[in-house]
Amino acid sequence: MGLDHRELRNGLGRFATGVTVVTCRNHEGQPHGATVNAFTAVSLDPALCQVTLTRKSKACAYLDGAPFAVNVLAEDQLATAWHFAGRPQEPQPEWVETPLAPVLVGNAATLTCRPWRTYDGGDHLIVIGEIAAIEVAEAEPLLFYAGGFRALREKDKAHWAASVDCPDAGWFDAGTDFSPLRRERTAAS
């Protein structure tokens, strides 16, 4: 017995994700992008990341053995997310060429990748790229949760109030003296 697709989407949608646009070149060499929230880090050594795209997307065909970029969208790039999700926006997002793949301007982070491996993922394709370059900005990320775009809210620090491990309190001040819980025995004792 199969799962109800709507219920499956609702359940998976309870996991908050960042929003990315995977960019590459189409068969004519023009920049192309697709909004993707299925992105994850895979490995630090070698530096690998993964994106998962529906097989129905044009980008899926363009990524076969091709370099690409993962543009982690900033919270002010909602129009960019919609643009590459099939709802064109004006003005159009701004592109910059890099040696490997075209990238978008204004991202929270940009990872430019060489192709590594591609795997069958049912109705999706799992694409793993080797990160060749990374650029990080101070911008907050755009999020996706329960079928809608969201933004981070101010951190709630109340849960740290009762903890001596609160990182905002400096953990331990420079004058803290640590004495053993029990005295060590010496050879004379």
Q: What are the boundaries of each domain within the chain? A: 5-156
Q: What is the CATH number of domain 5-156?
A: 2.30.110.10
Task: Give this prediction's pTM.
Answer: 0.77
| Both structure tokens of 119 | 């795997």
Question: pLDDT by residue (tens digit) across 162-173?
Answer: 565 665 555 555
> Exposed/middle/buried for 103, CB within 10 Å: 0-12, 13-18, 19+?
buried
Question: pLDDT by residue (tens digit) across 9-58?
Answer: 777 777 688 999 999 999 999 999 999 989 999 999 999 999 999 998 88
* Residue 37 pLDDT: 86
Question: pLDDT by residue (tens digit) across 123-136?
Answer: 999 999 999 999 99
